[in-house]
Each structure stands twice: as C-alpha cells, then as structure tokens.
C-alpha cells in the first residue's frame, strides 16, 4: 500500500513541513467556524433611507398643496356665487322699491353726507330755506306731477275669514257661551275686545276668560264688575301662568278692600305677572298700589292712566319696588300727582325706563327736563300731550338728550313754536310715530320736519294744525313714503288736488282721517269711497267702519 507521503496529490505541500504533534482527543470533536459573508455598508444604507423619506415627504407635501389649491378654488367659487346672489338680490330689491314708490336704499356716500354735521348749522334750517325757495316757484311745483302715479280707485274687497265670522257671532252672543276651553289666548283677546266694545263684560264672561290657565287676560271695559266679583275672579285664576293683566275702566271694582281680600285668599299674589294695565281705576289708592307691587315682583310695564286718586307717593312706591327693572310707565291723567321734589327724585330712579307718559300733568316742565337729562338716552316713547308748562325749552332738552326716541306725542301744546320742531328734527332721527294735534306750527316748519325725518315715519297726526298747507302736502307726497296712518282732520288749507297727490305717492297708506273736511267735491268723495285707503271722518262714513285701523298711540308698544 502506497503511503500518503509518496502521493503529493493527496496531502498538501504544507503538510510536509508540519511536525508530528500529538493528537488531542477533544479537538477531534470540535467543528471549524462557518465562513461569514461580506457585511453591507451601514452609511450607504442610512443615506438610502434618508433619500426615501425625503421623497415621501415631498409627495405628501405635493398632495397637501393640491388639496389646499382645490379648497381655495371651491371657496372662491362659493364666494363668487354668493356675491352674484347678493347682487341679484340688491338689484331686485332696488327694482321693487322703485316699483312701489318706496324709499330707495341709500349708498354709503349718501349716509356719510347725511352724518356729516357742520358746526353751527341745522338740517332743519337748511330744509326751511329750501322750502322758501320752492315757494317762489310754487306754480311750477304745483303743476309738476307727483311720481307719475295715478290714484287707484279700485278697492279690493276681501271676504272675512271663518275665524273672524265666528268671533263676531261669539261676541254678539257672549251671554250664551259656556266655555272657551282650548281657545288660544290671542283669540280670547280679540273676542274680549269685541265684547268690551259692546259693553257686555260681566262676571260670567270674565270667568270664561280666566279658565284654562291663560297667560294673558285683557278686558278694555270692566265698568260692570263689583269688588266681590273682581276678588273672586282673581282668586280663581291660575296666577302662576298669568303674565299680562289688563283691566281697564275697572273703577268701582279695583279698591284697596278688594286687593286686601284677594291677598288673604291668595297670599302669593301674581308671581309671574310682567304687565299690568289699570287705566281708569278711579278708586285705586296709593296703599292699594303698594299691595299690588308687593305681590307682583316681576312687573316691567305699568299703565295707571287716569287713576285720579294716586299721588306722588305712587311713583315713589313703584321706584322702591321696580326702580332698576321697570321698562314702561304711564301716569297720564293722574290729576292727584303734583310736581314736587319727591316726585322728581322718584322718577329719576327708574334706570331702564324706555316708555314714559305724563300726559295731562300740570307744571311738569322741570321734572321732564331733569329726567331727560339723566335718563333720556334709554327713552324710546314719550308723551307730553296737554302738559301745561311744557315749552320750547322742554323740547330742546328732549331733542338733545333723547336721541333714540321712536314715538313722540306733543299734542295740544299751544306754547310750542317752530323752535321745538327744529330741536326734534336735529336731535331725534329715529322717529316712527308723531302726534302734532292742535299745535301752532307753521306750514314751512312742518314741511321742513317732514323733509328731514319723513322717510322713517309710519304714523303721523296733524289733526287741527291749522297752518298746514301746500308745503306740507308737497313734503308728505315726496318724502313720507312709509306712512301707514295719517290724520289730516281740520286741515282746511289743504286742497282736493293736494290730497290726491298725497294718496297717490304714499303707496303704503292704510288709513286716513279727514274729520272737518268741507273743501272736497261730491265727485271726489265718490272716488275716495272706492279707494284702497280706509277713509274715516268724511260725510257718510261710519266711525266704526274700520275698527282695526285705529291709530297706534305713543305708548302702544308697551300698553
């Protein structure tokens, strides 16, 4: 057998040089370590990962930018569509206003020009000067057509609704009504008004009104109620839900004894009552008012007109209980209230009073001046009708300190001159309802007032303002486009043609009073009878023909 040393192909050359070493038995069992593959470069791998992340970030950023661009385009399209809709609305509105001869909207430049006030200059004076210039060309003004609108003589007669017919039948047969259960409060109020006009309100009808837990009980004529009747009715009604209580002309029933007996039966009084009207309660005393005030902590509006037994203490009582909460107060015609320091101080304690009527009170000038100076900024309704002592100085204060007035009644004040009109015109720019009954204002003064403030007036009474004539008619026709109610009774300097122009241009006019008009022809009366406007006061017209067209009083919003 050939040895391995003799065959070089079997053993490597290096084995020849190795010495013969002893063999370790443990090394025979050990395996040789595996051969490792070459390692990747870690730095290059990190760079590749970083590049991949950058590419992903850029892709996400691109997607985000595309989404933002799409959102901007969507918003731009919506804004463009909304602007187009607004433009179409404004064009349609302007066309409708022009079509109906109403007051066109004013641009910003016009508003800035109107708001610009030149020191020492009055818009009333400017209007009066313009009227005087216009008078020089009166023939040209009178011949010019007013808006090109002819007086519509077509009267649209509408049949009464079934509800109206039913209410009339119920009012005519009120004594046969057994129940008003489930009848809404607003319909109960209308039925009560119709029954009151017929003077048929009695204990049985009052019981019908207070049944079924009403929130409002309104009766205009309670002359037939007795003390015991009123006590029983108030005790049996649901006073928790009652919020409005109007018991006008309840003179005999509303006494201190009746209120005391009522509180004995119902010690919690009227916990939810917010409005109370006791007009014409000639037996109501200061003590009775104190009992009512104590039992109705939430009162906000109080009408005590023509309560002749009340004194200045009544105002003090109301100020003690409701000085910081009362919103409306009517003490007109309360002849027992005389001006004094207590009355003046108590009136000034009403912090939030917005409606005040002191009509018919004497010597009220200083009280009104002090109240307007301290609280006039919150007043919206003010009635000074028939107040002896009110003069131009009083109206100067009202014009200066009551800029938010919306309703003003200065009827039957002979001492007022055009100076009062000037202060009202320049100071009170928000007037909606104005009564100038039986004043001595000039034709130019009334016309200037209407030129400045006529665009916002809805209700206007010029009853027995004897100087009203052509200039006032022109201003009415040209500027008073929002008039709903107009009283021109006893304005005998106005002509038939001027009245025709007024009715032609005041397209929103609903009711027109013309008592004392003898300067119209029979043909014109026949035309008026076919007009859309309700005419009251002319020959052969009934006073009760249009009961729903009564003129809203100055305190109508509260009382």
CA distances to 14, 47, 52, 246, 311 from 301, rounded to whole Å, are 126, 83, 77, 11, 19
| Interatomic CA distance for residues 439 and 437, integer angstroms | 6
> Quick one: pLDDT at residue 376?
92
259: left (phi over 0), alpha (psi -120 to 50) or beta: alpha
| Interatomic CA distance for residues 145 and 497, integer angstroms | 11
Q: How many helices (H) and strands (E) does the chain have?
A: 21, 13
Neighbouring residues of 385: CB distance < 8 A, sequence distance ≥ 6: 332, 359, 360, 409, 410, 411, 412, 413, 435, 437
Residue 417, class by beta-carbon neighbours within 10 Å (0-12 exposed, 13-18 middle, 19+ buried)? middle
| Residue 8 bridge partners (DSSP) | none
Tell me the backbone φ, ψ of residue 50, rounded to 5 degrees.
Answer: -65, -40
- Please give the angle made by the CA atoms of 204, 210 and 211, to the nearest 5 degrees: 90
> Quick one: pLDDT at residue 5?
44
Q: Taking the CB of residue 149, how many other CB atoms lie within 10 A of it?
A: 16
SS3 category, 81: helix
> Quick one: pLDDT at residue 135?
74
Neighbouring residues of 407: CB distance < 8 A, sequence distance ≥ 6: 380, 381, 382, 431, 432, 433, 434, 554, 555, 556, 557
> Quick one: pLDDT at residue 6?
45
> Quick one: pLDDT at residue 146?
43
| Residue 535 bridge partners (DSSP) | 512
CA distances to 311, 339, 376, 402, 404 from 369, rounded to whole Å, are 20, 12, 9, 11, 16
Contact 447, 422 (CB under 8 A): no
Report the chain (559 residues): mean pLDDT per 10 consecutive residues. 45 46 48 51 77 87 88 86 81 63 44 45 80 67 44 57 90 91 89 90 91 89 91 89 92 91 91 94 94 95 95 96 95 92 93 94 91 93 93 93 95 93 92 94 94 93 93 93 94 90 90 87 74 76 47 47
> Quick one: pLDDT at residue 34?
53
- Please give the angle made by the CA atoms of 295, 300 and 303, to the nearest 5 degrees: 85
> Quick one: pLDDT at residue 158?
65
> Quick one: pLDDT at residue 145?
43
| Interatomic CA distance for residues 56 and 209, integer angstroms | 79
Q: Taking the CB of residue 493, how many other CB atoms lie within 10 A of it?
A: 15
Count of all residues that appear for the chain in the document: 559
């Amino acid at each position: 057998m050939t040895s391995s040393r003799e065959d070089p192909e079997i053993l490597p050359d290096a084995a020849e040089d190795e010495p013969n070493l002893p063999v370790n038995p443990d090394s025979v069992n050990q395996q040789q370590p595996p051969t490792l593959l070459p390692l990747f470069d870690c730095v290059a791998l990190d760079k590749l990962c970083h590049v991949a992340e950058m590419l992903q970030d850029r892709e996400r950023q691109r997607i985000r930018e595309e989404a933002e661009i799409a959102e901007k385009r969507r918003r731009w399209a919506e804004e463009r569509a909304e602007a187009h809709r607004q433009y179409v609305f404004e064009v349609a509105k302007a066309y409708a206003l022009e079509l109906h001869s109403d007051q066109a909207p004013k641009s910003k430049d016009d508003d800035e020009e109107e708001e610009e006030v030149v020191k020492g200059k009055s818009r009333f004076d400017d209007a009066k000067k313009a009227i005087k210039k216009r008078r020089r060309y009166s023939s040209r003004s009178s011949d010019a057509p007013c808006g090109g609108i002819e007086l519509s003589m077509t009267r649209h007669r509408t049949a009464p609704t079934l509800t109206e017919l039913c209410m009339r039948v119920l009012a005519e047969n009120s004594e046969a009504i057994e129940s008003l259960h489930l009848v809404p409060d607003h319909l109960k109020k209308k039925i009560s008004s119709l029954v009151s006009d017929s003077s048929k309100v009695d204990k049985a009808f009052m019981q019908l009104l207070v049944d079924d837990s009403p929130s409002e009980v309104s009766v205009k004529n309670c002359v037939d109620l007795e003390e015991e009747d009123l006590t029983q009715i108030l005790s049996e009604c649901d006073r928790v839900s009652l919020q409005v209580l109007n018991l006008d002309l309840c003179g005999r029933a509303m006494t201190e004894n009746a209120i005391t007996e009522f509180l004995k039966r119902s010690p919690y009084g009227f916990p939810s009552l917010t409005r109370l009207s006791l007009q014409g309660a000639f037996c109501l005393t200061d003590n009775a008012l104190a009992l009512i005030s104590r039992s109705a902590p939430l009162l906000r509006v109080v009408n005590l007109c023509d309560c002749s037994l009340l004194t200045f203490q009544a105002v003090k009582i109301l100020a003690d209980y409701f000085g910081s909460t009362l919103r409306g107060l009517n003490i007109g015609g309360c002849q027992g209230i005389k001006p004094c320091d207590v009355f003046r101080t108590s009136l000034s304690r009403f912090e939030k009073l917005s409606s005040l009527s002191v009509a018919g009170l004497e010597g009220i000038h200083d009280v009104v001046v002090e109240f307007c100076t301290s609280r006039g900024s919150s007043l919206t309704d003010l009635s000074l009708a028939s107040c002896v002592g009110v003069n131009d100085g009083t109206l100067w204060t009202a014009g200066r300190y009551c800029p938010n007035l919306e309703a003003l009644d200065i009827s039957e004040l002979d001492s007022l001159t055009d100076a009062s009109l000037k202060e009202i015109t320049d100071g009170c720019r928000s007037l909606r309802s104005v009564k100038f009954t039986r004043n001595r204002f000039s034709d130019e003064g009334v016309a200037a007032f209407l030129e400045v403030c006529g665009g916002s007036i809805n209700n206007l009474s010029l009853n027995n303002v004897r100087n009203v004539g052509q200039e006032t008619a022109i201003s009415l026709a040209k500027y008073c486009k929002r008039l709903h109610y107009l009283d021109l009774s006893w304005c005998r300097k106005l002509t038939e043609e001027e009245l025709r122009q007024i009715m032609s241009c005041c397209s929103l006019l609903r009711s027109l009073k013309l008592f004392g008009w003898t300067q119209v022809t029979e043909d014109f009366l026949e035309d008026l009878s076919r007009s859309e406007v309700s005419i009251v006061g002319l020959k052969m017209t009934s006073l009760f023909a249009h009961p729903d067209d009564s003129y809203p009083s100055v305190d109508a919003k509260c009382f």
